[in-house]
Structures are given as structure tokens and as C-alpha cells.
Structure 1
Amino acid sequence: MMKFRIQRENFIKPLEQISGSVGTNQKEPITQNVLMKIVPNDPTGPIKDAEYKMFMICTDTEIELVSEVGLFGEVEQGAITVEAKKLVTIIKSLPEGCFIYIEEAPDKKSITLSTERNKFSLSTLPAEQFPEIEILASSYSLKIKASTLLEMMKTTSFAIPQENYRVALKGMCFNIRQDRGSKRDLDIYTSDAHRANIQRAELEEDCVFPEDFSGRCSFILPKKTVSEVIRLLNEFSKDKAFLDSVIELFIGRTCFRTEINGVTVISCLIDSDYPNILMIVPNNCNRVLTLDRESFKNSLERVKILCNTLNNAVELIVVNSTITIKAKNSLHEEAVEHIIAEYEGDDFSLAYKADYLIDICKNMTAKKIKISMTTNSNSAKVEAVAGEGEPVSQACYVVSRIVL
């Protein structure tokens, strides 16, 4: 019978880090559980001095998060599953610094969780029924700085749609390219078919493929996996040493694996071809507006209040160096605001979805941005303008126009 003793703080932190991946399918209740498995500890691994360690695993069958913690004192090996959210809620409610004792019942259908003053009995499901994702051999791996990966994923993830008839668009595409000697760079794409986000960065090391490799030099992470990876990277982002560390992403034919500060992320990949996003990026643009990002965002948010709810569109009317942002709705209400931009070219008027432009401004940090398009363009390209002391951004955002 499995049993162990652990301090509250050592238990709750790794459990909270993985519990966001529990399933919500009522037909598979075991995916709402956390699997706790005690095994002998390898002293050469990351956990030192402990005789045993406990793996904690949560999954929804498409993504799996794994954390581990060292155990001391009287320990009995074994494996059990218990409802994750219920367990987290109980442990969080216990006094800080207390020790928790967990022991499996003789009939293996429940566990007892107790402290000096508390006692809870929780039902369990058989550990052998827990659906762990099969980890196949990796085809190749990427090495990238943690801060770079966080920046790339955060600034592109907002374009992944909740629902889309095109399976590939339900995730984030990672594409390895080689266009400068032997150095391989990484592109990240997201799109909902009406807008597209593109980020580029250098890998820390050249990506080496096996000699017999014949697969794609790209892979697509599902939306939930993207959210969990961003959450974990963000959680440790206050630690400069972590941000400077290198994250290795292992890519197999059907699955993805990485470790983020002791938490292992395993995920199925989306088996589909991502559309060629670069085909829709406007090039050789003869209309280029340079303007203050914050002022533009604030104006859009004010004018958006009176947008037509059917298309949420704002009209950009450019005359000389003045941009008039205009919106009106079915009640004949109207909002108009003027901002100054740096611009030389012909006068024009185009409409775009307000939320798309606002999202872009919120996810950029540069003081100034430029919006580029061609005379016959159906899309606008938005990029950062690097000011003095500002890093050069490789992000590019594309937004389709709306016909009013």
C-alpha cells in the first residue's frame, strides 16, 4: 500500500504547476485525476539526497504535464490516482508549514489525507487505467533561450482561434528554416485565416537532423499546449538565470516533449500541413504609415465603442499625414478621432477589424509602429519601429481588410 509524508509547500507547488492539464471529459473521469507514482530516486538526477521520488502526472490525453518531488522518511512505493482539483483545493486550505500524511486504503479504492488536526478520505481510481501519452523516440531537437521562446510564443498566440474548420490553424506552427549559411533559425506562425502573426529568432545551436530524416522541418502545437508552455515559462520569468537558460524541444513524428524548470510537458502534435503564411505578407509596399503605438491603441479603443457589432470595423482615412479613425453602427451613432502619422503618399481609406489592430498594439512594446500596404493590397502589415535603446523586433503581423 502506497504511503508517504510531505510538507504542504513541497506538495502544493508542483501539483499546481501540472493540474491545469486535467481533462474535462465526463466520459473519461480518470483524466480529471492526478497520477501519483513513487519510485526509487536516482541520486545522479535533479533530486538529491532523497531515497524515493514521486512523479505527479496530469493529462487530458492530448497534453501531459509531469512534475516530481523527493520524499523522505517512511515511504511505501506504489501508484494511485485521485481527483486533481479536489486534492489541490484541500491542500491549499491547510495551514502553512504543516506536514501531510497520505496512505492508501487496504481495498485500494481510497486514500486518507491527514495532518495533526485534519483528516480527509478521498476516492481513487486504478492507476493502471491512467492514460499516459506514449513517448516515442525523438527525430530531432531545438535549443532556444527561454526568454526568446517566451517572447515569441506570447506575441503570436493570440491569433490562434478557438474553433476553425482548418485543423492546422488550431495550433501554433514552428518552422525551422535555413537561409544564412548553415545556421538554422526558427519561425513561429499563428493565424485564424483573417489575420496572421509571424515571429523569427535564432536558435542557440544548429538543428541537426538524422541522415535518414524525411519528415517535415516543422510541427504544430495544439492551442492548449501553447497555453501551458507560456504559463510555465511566464511563471519562472522573474528568475533572470532561468530566462538566460536554454530550453530544448524534442520533436518526434507524432509528439513533442520539453522540460521547463523541472516540469515535463508532453503533447501530441497536430497532424496537418500549415498554410504558407508568408504568401499573404504584403511586399514592396508604397503606403507606409509610422505612428505612435500607444496613441493609436487608445484611439482605436475609444472609437471601437461605437463600432457596428456585426463586423467590429473601424475605417482608417489617410489624408497627408493625418489619420482619421472612424466608426459607426446601425443606430447611426458615430465616433471620429484624428491622429498624426509620418506618411508620404496618396490619400486612401481602408477598414479593418478594430480588435485585431488593438491586439497587435497590446502585444508590441516598441514606442512606434509602421503599417505597410500596397495600392491594391487586401492586407496590412504591422511591424515595430526600433527606437533608440529598444531591441529590434522580428515580429510581423498581417491583418485582412474589411469591405464596408
Structure 2
Amino acid sequence: MKVTIERSAFLKALNHVQSVVERRNTIPILSNVLIQARAGEIRLSATDLDVEVIETVPADVAQGGATTVPAHMMHDIVRKLPDGTQLQIEQGADTGRVSIFAGRSRFALQALPAEEFPGLTAGEFSNNFAVQASDLKTMIERTRFAISTEETRYYLNGIYLHAVRAEPADKLRAVATDGHRLAQFELALPLGAAGMPGVIVPRKTVLEVHRLIEDRDASIEISLSQSKIRFGFDGIVLTSKLIDGTFPDYERVIPKHNDKVMDVDTKLFAQAVDRVSTISSEKGRAVKLHIGSGKVVLTVNNPDSGSAEEELVADYDATDIDIGFNARYLLDIAGQLEGDTARFMLADAGSPTVIRDVVDDSALYVLMPMRV
């Protein structure tokens, strides 16, 4: 194998694929990136056996071939080379070594046989559809914070992606919950997504896809089967296993009849929560909201450090209510609202509260209250 490639193009591709490689591996080949050289291009592949990323980049291929080298080490070498450098990657008769030449620098890396590199067999995909990159990125941003990190409830460790019937048009909906809060985002159902299975996309896959999306105007091809999902865009193909589990009936926990409505300035509310929560304990993080006619009063009482109180103007004309929330969760949700006004739909101090952006009905959030 003998390949010449420009440093920045190679670094960009390496940066994309190496992030799925775990730093510690009991299987040596999984620490490596597969390099396949053929006419006019090289293909880089990396996997952790659950997620696989493949990227193809143009290159001057004098002699084709395939090998694997340590992913993070190769990335660090290329990252530290001067910008504009031309890299030459060679493997001769000694298949256990790969040489890298760049200007006056020369590196020799241990290599493992390409034949040993595992591929993520995808099988047949039952549904294929395209989504605008900006829509997919927004969908991930609005829901990922609510993904559970509790490994015992593994079926909550991802985003539930599914088609729903709605008027006037069906929707593609993403839902994430950790049992304390729920985030839901939807967009128009793409052509080809009708009849798709409801799938749980793992947290790592969600974060990788979000990281890889650089061109928000691109179109992303999504393919689905019962056990795998594939994203294709900009010369990159990411294939992932799905979480094998049943996502809970989340619609049962979304209140339909919360009749106490409070509208408050999103930015001012978030800043007030942030200020008063400075006093709260790291463990509890509880902030109490006293909602009355035309105002909301935020208070925090911490026996160890003191108390804080702040009053805000709010549009509210129902009966007074006192309710407590985790300050961190309130800030996470407020951070997703792009409009000027946040709408809280409440029932009582012990029931879930629905939070929405007044000017955007594509997202919905549910927050469980705390005792304060």
C-alpha cells in the first residue's frame, strides 16, 4: 500500500472515525482504525462493535491495499503535523508495520491484519428516508439532555424514534426520559418513514451523529431495521445497533388536563433560577415556586448555607400554587426554549408539569415536581 493525502483532509476524517474507539480495549483490533486504499480514495473505518463509522476521502493511491493502525495514536500524529503537509502512508512486505512520511518526519506504527477487523453486519433495512441535517440536529439537541444514564433501566439509555399519527399530517417523533423529566420533539414525517418500527437509538450513537453533522443544509439518509440504524451523509456512514428493549408508554405520563397556565419570560426565569439555586445543596438542588396572580416567587432554603428569594412578573390568573422543582432540570429545559416566553401548564404540587415554548409547538417537556 502506498498513499499520499493532504494532512487536513486526513485529519478531518480521522477525527470523525476515531471518536467511537474506546480508550481502553480488551480486544486489540478494536483500538485500531481500518485503512483501505483503492483507486483515487481511502476508506477509514472504526468500531466498538455497537457503533461503526466509515468515511471515504479522496487520495492519491499509487498502490492499493488495506491495514489497521492504532486509531488515537494515528490521530495524534497527524494532528501535530504542520498544516498543509502532504502525508505518505506506506506498507511494504512487512505487514506488521506501517510507515508515515511527512516532510522531515517519519513514523513507523505497529499494524494488525485488515482481515481481523470486524465489520458491523447491517442486514436488510426495511425503511429508508431522508431528513434535513438541521432538523435532525435540532431534534437531538432538544431531547438528549433527558436521556437516562441509569444502566439498570437500559431501555431509557437512548432516544425513542417513531412515527405517530397526527392531524393535519403524521409526525416523526423523538422522546427521551429519565423518569424525572421527559423531552419530546417532532417534525413532519419524511417520505418513506411511514410504517417504520419504533426504535431506541443509544446515547453514544445520538451524540456521535450530532457531532458529525457539520453542514446543516445537508440531507441525511436514514435506514432502519429491527436491530440497526444507519445514517449516511457527506461521505460518512454511521451504523449502530439499536437498544433491544421496550420503551415505556410515555404518553401516559404527559398530562392532558393541566388547567393552571403561567407564562413567564424565558431568559429572566432561567437567570433567576440560576441565581437562587446558588444557595441550594448539591444533593437536593430544590427550588420552590410560589405562583400567584401576576407573579412567581422563587425561593431556596438550605439549612447549611442560607436562603434566597427572587420575584418575577408572570402572566397567571388561576388559584395560587406552591410547587418545587430540581433547579438543574429547570435550567436544562429553559435552555431548549428559543422563544421569549415559557409556558408552564400545572395541575397541583404533586403532579407533573408541562413546559412549552409559546412560539414553537414542535417541542414539549414534562417535569416531575419535588417536595420542598
TM-score, with length taken from structure 2: 0.95
Q: 1:226 aligns with which of 193, 206, 227?
A: 206
Could you tell me how far 1:309 is from its partner in structure 2?
2.5
1:264 aligns with 2:211: no
User: In 2, are the aligned partners of 1:25 and 1:31 still within 8 Å (CA)?
Assistant: no
User: In 2, are the aligned partners of 1:24 and 1:60 still within 8 Å (CA)?
Assistant: no
User: In 1, are the aligned partners of 2:157 and 2:202 still within 8 Å (CA)?
Assistant: yes
CA RMSD of aligned residues (A): 1.7
**Partner Cα distance (2:71, 2:105) in 1:** 19
**Partner Cα distance (1:396, 1:83) in 2:** 43
Question: What residue in structure 1 maps to residue 160 of structure 2?
Answer: 173
User: In 2, are the aligned partners of 1:371 and 1:382 still within 8 Å (CA)?
Assistant: yes
User: In 1, are the aligned partners of 2:37 and 2:61 still within 8 Å (CA)?
Assistant: no
User: In 2, are the aligned partners of 1:170 and 1:223 still within 8 Å (CA)?
Assistant: yes
Could you tell me how far 1:163 is from its partner in structure 2?
2.5
Question: What residue in structure 2 maps to residue 207 of structure 1?
Answer: 193
Question: What residue in structure 2 maps to residue 213 of structure 1?
Answer: none
1:98-146 CA distance string (max 9 Å, x none): 2111111422111110123110111112222212211111011232222
Question: What residue in structure 2 maps to residue 45 of structure 1?
Answer: none
Greater Cα offset, 133-142 or 220-229: 133-142
**Partner Cα distance (1:336, 1:376) in 2:** 19
5 Å-filtered alignment, 1:137-286, equals 137-180=124-167, 183-209=169-195, 217-233=197-213, 235-237=214-216, 243=217, 245-286=218-259
1:113 aligned partner, one-letter code:
I
**Partner Cα distance (2:170, 2:23) in 1:** 39
User: For the structure 1 residues 115 and 309, does the alpha-carbon distance in structure 2 shift closer, same or farther, using more than 3 Å as the test?
Assistant: closer
1:230 aligned partner, one-letter code:
H
Greater Cα offset, 371-380 or 146-155: 371-380
Q: 1:111 aligns with which of 74, 94, 98?
A: 98
2:181 aligned partner, one-letter code:
R
User: For the structure 1 residues 376 and 359, does the alpha-carbon distance in structure 2 shift closer, same or farther, using more than 3 Å as the test?
Assistant: closer
1:324-345 CA distance string (max 9 Å, x none): 1011213151011111100011
Q: 1:366 aligns with which of 333, 336, 339?
A: 339
1:324 aligns with 2:303: no
Q: Structure 1: where are the runs of 5+ without partners?
A: 40-50, 210-215, 238-242, 387-391
Residues matched between the structures, number: 372
User: In 2, are the aligned partners of 1:232 and 1:260 still within 8 Å (CA)?
Assistant: no
1:397 aligns with 2:365: yes
Q: Structure 2: where are the runs of 5+ without partners?
A: none
Could you tell me how far 1:281 is from its partner in structure 2?
1.1
Q: 2:70 aligns with which of 54, 75, 83?
A: 83
